[in-house]
Amino acid sequence: MLNFTIRRLMFAIPTLLVISFIIFAILDLAPGDPTASLPMTVPPEVRAQIRSTLGLDEPFIIRYFLWLKQFMITEPLNLIESSFGITIGEGDRLRLTSWATRSPVVDLIAERMPQTLWVVGMSQIIAVLIAVPIGVISAYKQYSWIDQLGTLFSMIGFSVPTFFTGLLFIVIFSVNLGWFPSIYDTNHVVEDWDSFVFQIKQMIMPTMVLALFTAAQISRYMRASMLDNLNQDYVRTARAKGLKEQTVLLVHVLRNSMIPVVTVIALNIPTIFGGAIITEQIFRVNGIGQLLITGIVGADIPLVQTLTFIFAALIVLFNLIADILYGMLDPRIRYE
Amino acid sequence: MSDTSLQEMPKASSLSRDVWNQFRVHRGAMAGLVIFTLIVLAVIFGPMIHTVDPGFMNIRLRNAPPSWANPMGTDNLGRDIFAQVLQGGRVSLAVGITAMLLALFLGALIGVLAGYYKRLDGPLMRFTDLFLALPLLPLLLVIIMLFRDTLRQAFGPETGIFFLIVFIIGITSWMQTARIVRGDVLALKEREFVLAARSIGTPSRRIILRHILPNVISPIMVSATLGVANAIITESALSFLGLGFPPDFPTWGRLLFDGKDFLTLTPERVFWPGLAISLTVLSVNYIGDGLRDALDPHIRGR
């Protein structure tokens, strides 16, 4: 198992390096000048100075390695220092700074991360809670009306884009019914029961939008995987032993069917982070998706480079997790 | 075999007839086909019947409720929403179909090359894996931001953005097609008819065009339908984030983006374009589902 994990890891690292290079190159070689948005009255020599303070005079490849070093070595060291209160080396390193705010990019991202993680994490849990029962019942009662309904639900779920469900939710639940606030208040602090209820209320719509979209996909996989297992010999054996139908279904079949579904869930998580870009924009959640949009609109290259790379790293990471999980859960996969 | 036994054979059934018969059984797919055809017809011929200029501003009729003259009401500048939805549909469908064609071409090309030529298989598949690991939505947004102005100067605001959006959606959504096609080509390559063709000295190019491609047409068709759905959603998402087509150039996503600030006043403004996107994507997905069943000989036999 360790061998398998190491081999996967060895493959992930070069992938990440190539991707980081592609992202850096696209952003760096594109036409456009960071000083273009400055007022016309700024004289050209000042512009040149600004460009050189931003480090734009160096050759492309040097800037790439500098960025890589800042992101891969400097920032992790800073993180270790700040969390353990120790100083490694000289302790004062050149940090990757955003052009727009002049503050370290990693700090900006760390500020925004919790909101995104809350929304994405909750939506993922709710999605699984919705999808697994639908998938199990659909497969158990294949071709019944409840199965047809489940199919319709999942078809609608992944055909209706999240930006439309989000707006519909706002129209129905905020404008007409007035149940939930349409804007996510990030400054809200949970201190007593009432503020906790408010927090739940403001989280319901963003998480449900993402959860419904994800649940639609997971329930399809769940149904297919259950159907595969229901026709296996071991199910007949279990029934022949006189086990209760409930035990057969929920212990024997469900456990085996969850194996591919768990990996699908893991593979799906980066997509949800991508989907969160849209949801955060609708409900004004100030998470990393919104930070990315702000960075893009403001042409803040270092911020956008880092964020895009984080999204790429998430994809590679969760691919790795899915592979390892699959190997752990299903011994047949560990080909070694 | 005598002539009589030939005549007694059941009525000739071509592959396309079999596929159509199976497709017709799938109720969802038939409903999808009908709805999609209706949407396409409405978008093409609608502006000829409903001859209101989508850009015409009638300030006196701001935020008007639906009426005979404006079946979906008007927006905050007094423009007719129905005309805008029709016009936007033209753009959204055009983007969806063109981007799908590009993705399909790339996917089929890379899939066939990787499956047929052993030397290219490794590098091309690593390349595909790399593309699959790219964060697509952030990257699309970034590319649009960076190249928008250059293309706008080169081709004009609308055509430039159209090319850019079609191009980037196309080059970022071919990977699934390539993988499926490669798998099928790998299996086909070992079949006897390919061996026979090769033994009489058919050049590779002709084997691919005449023997391999017609046999992988069914997975390509299924990914074509899913590709249209995907492209329409991506384009709408980009426009919805404000990074798609320029303002006052209606597409379904753009209409949602413009309408989302008027949710309390005129909720219909987001309802109609959103419904149009959802219905189109839903019907296309159902068509794809039915097509997959109809083209699968295992299911068709039943």
Using an 8 Å Cβ cutoff, are B255 and B248 in contact? no
Task: List, as own/partner pairs, every contact residues A97-103 make where C-beta atoms lie below 8 angstroms and the sequence separation is at least 24, other chains included.
Answer: A97/A302, A98/A295, A98/A300, A98/A302, A98/A303, A99/A34, A99/A54, A99/A299, A99/A300, A99/A301, A99/A302, A99/A303, A100/A294, A100/A295, A100/A298, A100/A300, A100/A303, A101/A300
Count of structural domains within chain A = 1
| pLDDT on residue A37 | 63
Cα nearest neighbour of B274 on chain A? A164
Structural domain boundaries, residue A148: 108-297
Contacts of residue A277 in chain B, CB cutoff 8 Å?
A: 137-138, 141, 241
Using an 8 Å Cβ cutoff, are B173 and B228 in contact? no
On whether residue A272 sits in a domain, the answer given is yes
Cα nearest neighbour of B144 on chain A? A296
Using an 8 Å Cβ cutoff, are B280 and B270 in contact? no
Cα nearest neighbour of B137 on chain A? A274
**Domain boundaries in chain B?**
16-50+81-300
Cα nearest neighbour of A11 on chain B? B126
A85: left (phi > 0), else alpha (psi -120 to 50), else beta? left
On whether residue A55 sits in a domain, the answer given is no
Helix axis angle for B175-189 and B81-116, nearest 10°, is: 40
CA distance A106 to B293: 49
CA distance A255 to B103: 38
Q: To which CATH superfamily is domain B16-50+81-300 assigned? A: MetI-like (1.10.3720.10)
Residue found under tokens 């890379």: B110
Residue found under tokens 């200029």: B53
On whether residue A92 sits in a domain, the answer given is no
CA distance A277 to A257: 31
Residue B87, Cβ density class (10 Å: 0-12 exposed, 13-18 middle, ≥19 buried): buried
On whether residue A113 sits in a domain, the answer given is yes
Question: In tens digits, what is the pLDDT along chain A, a chain of 336 residues?
Answer: 777 788 878 888 888 888 888 888 887 776 656 666 666 777 777 777 777 776 666 777 888 888 887 777 777 777 777 777 666 666 556 677 777 777 777 778 888 888 888 888 888 999 999 999 998 888 888 888 888 888 888 888 888 888 888 888 888 888 778 787 777 777 777 777 878 888 888 888 888 888 988 898 899 889 888 888 888 888 888 889 888 888 888 888 888 888 888 888 888 888 888 888 888 888 888 888 888 888 888 777 888 888 888 888 888 888 888 888 887 887 776 655
Å from B150 to nearest chain A CA? 7
Contacts of residue B282 in chain A, CB cutoff 8 Å?
A: 155-156, 159-160
Residue B78 sits at the chain A interface (C-beta within 8 Å): no
Å from B65 to nearest chain A CA? 17
Contacts of residue A167 in chain B, CB cutoff 8 Å?
A: 256, 259-260, 263, 270, 274
Q: Which residues of chain B are modeled with pLDDT < 50?
A: 1-2, 302
Q: Do A175 and B282 touch (CB under 8 A)?
A: no
Query: Whole-model pTM?
Result: 0.84
CA distance B171 to B162: 14
Residues paired with B74 in a beta bridge: B80
**How many beta-carbon contacts under 8 Å exist across A and B?**
123
Domain containing A157 — which CATH number?
A: 1.10.3720.10
Question: Cα–Cα distances in Å, from B234 out to A22, A281, B229?
Answer: 22, 15, 9
For residue A255 the two structure tokens come to: 């456990």
| pLDDT on residue B1 | 44
